[in-house]
């Protein structure tokens, strides 16, 4: 059968099998270019005349063009489908199946180093949802974000000067003072005077988080303590009473003790 006719029939089969238009278009392009190469290089127009070396020659041609193994394997997959279909129809053998897949380079995902992770954590500020939706002005929110960014790690306090805050936010000091009052009224920060230059700012969300973690830690320690105590008591109890119980014949025991029966250990147990 003419190669072009066989390919055309294969495309009809793809459409009948509900392959997407994009998939069919990909098959058409890859197989058409393969057929053009076979006709030009080997003057082959019959599908049955195509052999394994012809396919390998085409793969080598694609490699010389600099195509990746992943892309070439996609083309080989399309050719395998074509020859498998024609083989099932009884026209030719599936020679493409005998051509092995090209080895593909594995993509190694470069993970972050500890130093990079630390840098990411340091350079980003996590804002609680309650703070995001709080009813404060944008300027106050920016001030709050800046202050919180300076309370990195486990810190919940910082002490930048109002002049520094004003410079960072491109505002005057009076405006910064209004923002700070707004944040105090919203109970998002606390301000404590430190000397004559700067204040100590406490971020309340971090204080709450720290206290919450401390409570959880204490509760966990408390639970673990009593669990260990209970386990220890169970172990002692098990060791003390960890033997098979015996059923004694107390009537025989009494008679033996009174001398009315000779001592016989076998008669002590029921």
**pLDDT, mean over the chain:** 81
Both structure tokens of 170: 């491109």
Parallel/antiparallel/unpaired status of strands 198-203 and 189-194: antiparallel
Half-sphere exposure of 109 (CA within 13 A, CB side): 2
DSSP assignments along the chain, one per residue:
-BHHHHHHHHHHHHHHTT--HHHHHHHHHHHHHHHHHHHHHH---BGGG--HHHHHHHHHHHHHTT--HHHHHHHHHHHHHHHHHHHHTTSS--GGGGSPPPPPPPPPPPPPPHHHHHHHHHH-----HHHHTSS--HHHHHHHHHHHHTS-TT--EE---HHHHHHHHT--HHHHHHHHHHHHHTTSEEEEEETTTEEEEEEHHHHHHHHHHHHHHHHHHHHHHHHHHHHHHHHHHHHHT-S----B-HHHHHHHHHTSS---GGGTB-
List, for residues 191-203, the tens digit of each pLDDT value. 988 766 678 999 9
pLDDT at 237 over 60: no
- Mean pLDDT along residues 158-170: 92
Both structure tokens of 31: 């197989």
Both structure tokens of 73: 């394997």
pLDDT at 87 over 70: yes
List, for residues 204-221, the tens digit of each pLDDT value. 887 766 555 555 665 676
Predicted local distance difference test score (pLDDT) of residue 233:
57
Using alpha carbons, select from 114, 115, 136 the residue that is nearest to residue 187: 136
The angle, 0 to 180 degrees and rounded to 10, between the axes of the packed helices 69-88 and 21-42 is: 90
Predicted local distance difference test score (pLDDT) of residue 225:
65
Domains of the chain: 3-98 (1.10.150.130), 115-206 (1.10.10.10)
User: Is the pTM of the predicted complex or chain greater than 0.75?
Assistant: no
* Residues 6 or more apart whose Cβ sits within 8 Å of residue 152: 121, 122
- Mean pLDDT along residues 215-232: 63
Of all residues in the chain, the percent with pLDDT exceeding 90 is 27
Give the gyration radius of the chain's Cα atoms.
42
């Amino acid at each position: 059968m003419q190669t072009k006719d066989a390919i055309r029939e294969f495309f009809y089969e793809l459409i009948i099998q509900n392959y997407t238009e994009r998939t069919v278009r990909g098959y058409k392009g890859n197989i058409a270019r393969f057929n053009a190469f076979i006709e030009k290089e080997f003057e082959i127009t019959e599908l049955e005349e195509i052999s394994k070396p012809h396919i390998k020659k085409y793969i080598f041609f694609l490699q010389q063009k600099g195509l990746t193994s992943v892309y070439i394997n996609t083309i080989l997959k399309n050719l395998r489908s074509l020859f498998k279909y024609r083989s099932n129809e009884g026209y030719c053998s599936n020679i493409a199946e005998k051509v092995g897949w090209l080895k593909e380079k594995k993509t190694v995902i470069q993970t972050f180093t500890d130093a990079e992770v630390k840098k990411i954590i340091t350079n980003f500020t996590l804002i609680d949802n309650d703070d995001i939706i709080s009813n404060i002005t944008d300027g106050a929110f920016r001030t709050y974000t800046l202050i919180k960014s300076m309370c990195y790690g486990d810190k919940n306090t910082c002490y930048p000067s109002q002049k520094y805050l004003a410079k960072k936010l491109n505002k005057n000091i009076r405006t910064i003072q209004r923002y700070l009052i707004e944040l105090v009224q919203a109970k998002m920060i606390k301000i404590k005077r430190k000397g004559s230059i700067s204040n100590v700012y406490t971020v309340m969300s971090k204080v709450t988080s720290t206290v919450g973690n401390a409570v959880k830690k204490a509760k966990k320690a408390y639970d673990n303590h009593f669990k260990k105590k209970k386990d220890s008591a169970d172990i002692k109890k098990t060791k003390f009473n960890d033997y098979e119980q015996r059923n004694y014949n107390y009537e025989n025991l009494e008679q033996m003790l009174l001398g009315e029966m000779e001592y016989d250990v076998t008669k002590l147990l029921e």
